[in-house]
Structure 1
Amino acid sequence: MTRRTEYDESQAAGRLRVPIAAFRWARHTGLVPTPDASSYQWSRATVEAMDADAIRASLPHEPISAAAAADRIARALGTPNVPGEPPVVSAFAVRRLIACGLLTDLTANPEAVLINPDQVAAVCGIEGLAQRLADEAPLGPDQAAARLGVRRVDFDYMRDLLWVRPAERREVRFGTSRAGAVMVPLFTTASVDALPAAHPEVDWEQLRNVGKGRRSPLAALVKARQQEKEAAAV
């Protein structure tokens, strides 16, 4: 049987007989060194030199889900999430904190985020956290259009112009069947709020007062952009 000479993180954790979450946390803290065999693999010698007991001890508590982390953060801010009501702090916000580097995901599965509860507690003490979470609050396309005071079609043109991009897409079900599920793009509140200042070339007052069924002032910009792409492709 051929001996393995290189290990990815799952294989290394298995070799050391430590939970993958503990291995990922130890890597985050520097206890596990940077991969030396490739960008994501460790050599056999490096894995064998790792201290399995220290890796286990680095994560003394069971990791928690994004939803549980959101609940803890909401309580710490004095605005607890209430079951059955829209959350003050959502799992989306927690995933954004991960994207910002303030929290560390301990699983490779984006649908099953796991976080060190001690790190969540530390994040709860960050100054200005409430405003940061407000900036990261999710908005669907209709909500984003309403927040800007424009029609949904106008916001869709902004997306076509690449003025704003979704932070992520989540599956939303209508009814109990998966056949009724659609992927909905979610935008951060901050990215939507930044649009007017980022594009002063647009007459926002005019845009906000375009009547129903009238052509959007942004349509010409979209057409011009498409023509530029077509010209560049020739």
Structure 2
Amino acid sequence: MKALDADAVRVAMPFPLVSGGAAADRIAEALGTPNRTIHGEKANVMAFVVRRFVDRGLLFDLSANTDGTLHHPGQVEEVCRREDLADLVAAETPLGPEQAAARLRVRRVESDHMVRLGWVRSPQSIEVRFSTSRAGAVDVALYTTASVDAVPAAHPEVD
């Protein structure tokens, strides 16, 4: 098998690819809510949303790296021009376990039962460190807003 020539690939692609973080920044700009990371502010659109767009087929990941994504800039711009962009971002915005419980207006333990029953699924988790050592790291599940909002309609039998 012949090895790929990196320079030949670069020549064939006259445009630089866009990282997941940069795609999130462009989407936020398109919504008129630029991502600012001044003073530790949370981004308005996070790379989590971009990964959900990949899962939904709205964007394609051109990277072989499992830690990040790369996207065609034209495709990112096409997504940014969508009329329903704000709704798409809102549906894919991540919620942590406490946020999901609050959104459902239930206690965290009840929300955890919904997860165990499979009513809410986590497409991704993040590692949160509570100290500088690896022993202080915990995986925290993230849920999409749309999946949490779907629970009451899917299970009206639950008070």
Same fold (TM over 0.5): yes
Structure 2 partner of 1:171: 127
Q: How much is the aligned-residue C-alpha RMSD, in angstroms?
A: 1.8
List alignment gaps of at least 5 residues for structure 2.
none
How far is 1:119 from its partner?
1.6
Name which structure has the greater RCO, CA cutoff 8 Å, separation 6+: 2
Q: Which amino acid aligns with 1:172?
A: V
Q: 2:99 aligns with which of 113, 131, 143?
A: 143
Structure 2 partner of 1:73: 27
2:51 is the alignment partner of 1:95: yes
Q: 1:85 aligns with which of 38, 41, 58?
A: 41
How far is 1:64 from its partner?
2.3
CA distance in 1 between partners of 2:102 and 2:79 (Å)? 31
CA distance in 1 between partners of 2:130 and 2:66 (Å)? 22
How far is 1:159 from its partner?
1.0
TM-score (norm 1): 0.63
Number of residue pairs aligned between Structure 1 and Structure 2 = 157
How far is 1:16 from its partner?
3.8
Between Structure 1 and Structure 2, whose CA radius of gyration is higher?
A: 1
2:109 is the alignment partner of 1:153: yes
> What SS does structure 1 have at the residue aligned with 2:60?
coil
Structure 2 partner of 1:116: 72
**CA offsets, 1:170-191, max 9 Å, x none?**
2122233322111111100000
Structure 2 partner of 1:24: none
Structure 1 partner of 2:158: 202
CA distance in 2 between partners of 1:142 and 1:18 (Å)? 46
How far is 1:118 from its partner?
2.1
Matches within 5 A, 1:8-27: 15-18=3-6
CA distance in 1 between partners of 2:80 and 2:4 (Å)? 33
Matches within 5 A, 1:29-68: 56-57=11-12, 59-68=13-22
Q: Which amino acid aligns with 1:17?
A: D
Structure 1 segments (4+ residues) deviating >3 Å = none
Q: Which amino acid aligns with 2:140?
A: V
CA distance in 1 between partners of 2:26 and 2:133 (Å)? 32
